[in-house]
């Protein structure tokens, strides 16, 4: 039997949140050093990530934001939500 070499990563909620909370400022805006996030829902049902990013000047207001309220008042804005809402979108990679 051939031995297969592989690496397994099994991440808990804190690891997942750490990855996500560090990812978006790197790709979107390096001027948002404050971050908070939460995972809500159930896997394969309604799992979702709420991440907020802000400036240090807004630290007091930032800490008072209610992530569950933000979840209830904001639509999905990731790439998959965009593609689902725009099925005719086509990206030309030329």
* Residue 66 resides in a domain: yes
* Residue 6 resides in a domain: no
* Residue 2 resides in a domain: no
Total tally of structural domains belonging to the chain:
1
Residues 82, 85: Cα–Cα separation, whole Å: 5
Residue pLDDT, tens place only, 32-65? 778 889 999 998 899 999 988 887 777 888 889 9
The domain of 64 spans: 13-85
Is the separation of the CB atoms in 21 and 31 below 8 Å?
no
* Residue 4 resides in a domain: no
* Residue 8 resides in a domain: no
What's the pTM?
Answer: 0.72
Q: Kindly tell me if the per-residue pLDDT of 22 is higher than 90.
A: no
Long-range contact set of residues 50-58: C-beta below 8 Å, sequence gap at least 24: 50/74, 51/20, 51/21, 51/24, 53/24, 53/25, 53/28, 53/29, 55/31, 58/34
* Residue 93 resides in a domain: no
Torsion angles phi and psi, residue 79, rounded to 5: -60, -40
Residue 2: its pLDDT value, please? Answer: 77
Share of the chain above pLDDT 70, in %: 90
* Residue 52 resides in a domain: yes
41 backbone φψ class: left, alpha, beta (φ>0; ψ -120 to 50): left
Residue 63: its pLDDT value, please? Answer: 86
94 confidence band (pLDDT: 50, 70, 90): low
Torsion angles phi and psi, residue 50, rounded to 5: -115, 120
Share of the chain above pLDDT 90, in %: 32
* Residue 94 resides in a domain: no
């Amino acid at each position: 039997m051939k031995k297969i070499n592989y690496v397994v990563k099994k991440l808990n909620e804190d690891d997942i949140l750490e990855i996500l909370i560090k990812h978006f400022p790197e790709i979107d805006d390096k001027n948002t050093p404050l971050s908070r996030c939460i995972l809500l829902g159930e896997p394969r049902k309604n799992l979702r990530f709420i991440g907020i990013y802000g400036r240090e000047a807004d630290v007091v207001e930032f800490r008072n934001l209610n992530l569950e309220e933000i979840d209830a008042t904001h639509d999905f804005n990731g790439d998959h939500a965009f593609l689902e809402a725009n099925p005719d979108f086509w990206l030309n990679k030329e």
